[in-house]
Structure 1
Amino acid sequence: MAVALLFLCFLVLATTTSDAVIAHSDPQIIQLLRPRAGVAGHPDSEINCLSWRLAVETNNIRNWDLVPETCEDYVGNYMLGKQYRLDCEAVADIAIEYAENLTIPDDGKSIWVFDIDETAFSNLPYYARPSVGFGAKKYNSTAFGEYIQEADVPALPASLRLYRNLVKLGIKSVFLTGSSERYREAREENLKKVGYYTWEKLILKPISEKGTSSVYFKSKERTKLVNEGYRIVGNIGDQWSDIIGTNVGNRTFKLPDPMYYVG
């Protein structure tokens, strides 16, 4: 009787262990633990594209021209998916916490510098067009200019939330963009339309400075602000060129953007 009982226990244990092994080897379960990149359905491509994006965001890969063709779907899935939104919200959370702990003098000279494209605004409706795509095709300045002129670009929600908190704290906003001065009217209309109702300055690149680097142009404009007596308490952008150079501010914040590189 004891031998039979022992044998029965062994069968139960063996069956349970076998079921557990099968459950943990179920590809459906394993897939839930892996990032879904959607790059030609190939795991190796997913890993390479994840590593490529990490290198881009950490500024280890510089002066790149186009998104690798095999990573375009991955970039598109990231930008249109939940993770991009969560990443932007995380940046905004940190920036708001920082701003709330500042002591702001009551002289109206404390400012926060915002980039515009992929910072104040999100151009995802443009990049989601089949004719454009997510960074693997050459940039079409004419088509993008026409898109800007429509003045219907949505706000990046995380940045708009940061902006609204800064207004409450008495920190003025300066929009500094490498976008051409020819788009000033459209930019002003668009900013107000999506909720950026007031700002201290809107600085666009003069047509005469076309071709100058973003680092040079934005450093020069920030220096002008400092020379006018402003304190740059914060600076946010999606490109490293938005937050490096001279007079970058007391604290900088980088939003994700693996779609393009601006030097």
Structure 2
Amino acid sequence: MSAYGHQMEREYSAQSLSGNGGSDGDSHYMMETGFYMTSVAATIFIGAIVTVGVLMITLLITLTVMLQSCQSRNAGVIENEKLSYDYNTCKSLGLHAELNNLEASQFPTICKVLAVQYIEEGQYARDLNSTVVVVENHFKTVNPPDDGLDVVLMDIDDIFSSNPQYDNLLLQGYDQYGCSNCIGDAKHLKLQSVLRIFTKLHARGWPLILLSRKPERRRNTTINHLLSAGYRDWSLLIMRSEEELHVDNYEYFARRRIALQKEGFRIAGIISSRYDALTGPNCGKLVFKLPNPIYCIFEDRNVNMDTAI
């Protein structure tokens, strides 16, 4: 066949293919690779790509949110661990401060902040109530003997204040840490709790001896405050003699306990929020420590004993 014949054959074949494809009545796409796709298939393919893209974006957003949530939780855990560490550290410092009569200036600021939170968030009230329940439950199980020589000693110095100037000093300490009512709230709670113990033990027939760090010359003022606070019919009120004004609190209380026992009294229990009244020789059968968040936190340990609460 001639070259002209071959060219005619190729043109005829191309026309035949084009005519056969158009007779189907459907549009089509021809890829350079020879792959054909109908319009419906192309639509489905494009929709699938869009759907996968949306799913990928959604997954990415979800993972981002989860990561941020985990970071927030981890930050919260770290913060809680730090607060727990600070609380335990301050609790240990407070214990040693009470035992060794440390100055308030030796406490870090975070401890003063936590002391305020301890009162404001209600934990002090819960701890105080729990201690009162322990005292009440114990004395429900025992009765005082008829000879009246089994006595309970109660520390009254941190129940109320007889010095407005000193109260103002403490209020200023609390104001620095955002708790202007903490002093009043804490003292009112302690007053009510100790009075509750006093009333119930008195009703059960226990002789109650009240202890004070104040000097003897303030006896009348102290009695008036006790009466105004609701205290009645105590057996004895012990206050410092002139010779004892410069004696350490621990020694002062130890001397008085020894003197009571020499007189024939048996100490069935001691109730106080301060360790100087609860430690040392001749403490009797049991001691009950009331919680005391303000001791050595805001108090000025250099305040004169004649005016301190």
Structure 1 length normalisation: TM-score? 0.69
Q: Which residue number corresponds to residue 205 of structure 1?
A: 240
Matching residue's letter, 1:218: F
For residue 166 of structure 1, report the CA deviation from its aligned partner: 0.4
Deviation track 1:129-160 (CA, whole Å, cap 9, x = no partner) reads 567526x9xxxxxxxxxxxxxxxx85622111
Following superposition of structure 1 onto structure 2, how do residues 44-55 of structure 1 map, counting pairs within 5 Å? 47-48=85-86, 50-55=88-93
Confirm whether residue 190 of structure 1 aligns to residue 225 of structure 2. Answer: yes
> 2:212 and 2:170 mapped to 1: Cα distance?
26
For residue 103 of structure 1, report the CA deviation from its aligned partner: 3.2
1:133 aligned counterpart, secondary structure: helix
User: For residues 25 and 184 of structure 1, do their structure 2 counterparts lie closer, same or farther at Cα, with a shift above 3 Å needed?
Assistant: farther
1:167 aligned counterpart, secondary structure: helix
> 2:119 and 2:97 mapped to 1: Cα distance?
22
> 2:170 and 2:273 mapped to 1: Cα distance?
23
Q: Which of 173, 183, 199 is residue 133 of structure 1 equivalent to?
A: 173
User: For residues 247 and 69 of structure 1, do their structure 2 counterparts lie closer, same or farther at Cα, with a shift above 3 Å needed?
Assistant: same
Structure 2 length normalisation: TM-score? 0.60
Q: Which residue number corresponds to residue 127 of structure 2?
A: 87
Q: Which residue number corresponds to residue 48 of structure 2?
A: none
> What is the number of residues matched between the two proteins?
232
Deviation track 1:31-62 (CA, whole Å, cap 9, x = no partner) reads 9x959xxxxxxx67x84365123332367862
Which is helix-richer, 1 or 2? 2
Higher mean alpha-carbon deviation, 121-130 vs 79-88, is at 121-130
> 1:130 and 1:222 mapped to 2: Cα distance?
31
Deviation track 1:203-234 (CA, whole Å, cap 9, x = no partner) reads 11112221101111111111121122222111
Contact 2:98 2:274 in 1 (8 A): no
- Percent identity reads 22
Q: Which residue number corresponds to residue 160 of structure 2?
A: 121
Contact 1:111 1:232 in 2 (8 A): yes
Confirm whether residue 98 of structure 1 aligns to residue 133 of structure 2. Answer: no
Q: Which residue number corresponds to residue 74 of structure 1?
A: 113
Please give the root-mean-square deviation of Cα atoms over the aligned residues, in Å: 4.1
Deviation track 1:229-256 (CA, whole Å, cap 9, x = no partner) reads 2221110112211111121121001122
Gaps of 5+ in 2: 1-50, 177-186, 302-309
> 2:117 and 2:167 mapped to 1: Cα distance?
13
Confirm whether residue 252 of structure 1 aligns to residue 279 of structure 2. Answer: no
Matching residue's letter, 2:214: S
Q: Which residue number corresponds to residue 268 of structure 2?
A: 233
Choose 1 or 2 for highest CA Rg: 2
2:173 aligned counterpart, secondary structure: coil
Gaps of 5+ in 1: 36-42, 137-152
> 1:231 and 1:204 mapped to 2: Cα distance?
19
For residue 93 of structure 1, report the CA deviation from its aligned partner: 1.1
For residue 88 of structure 1, report the CA deviation from its aligned partner: 1.7
Q: Which residue number corresponds to residue 196 of structure 2?
A: 161
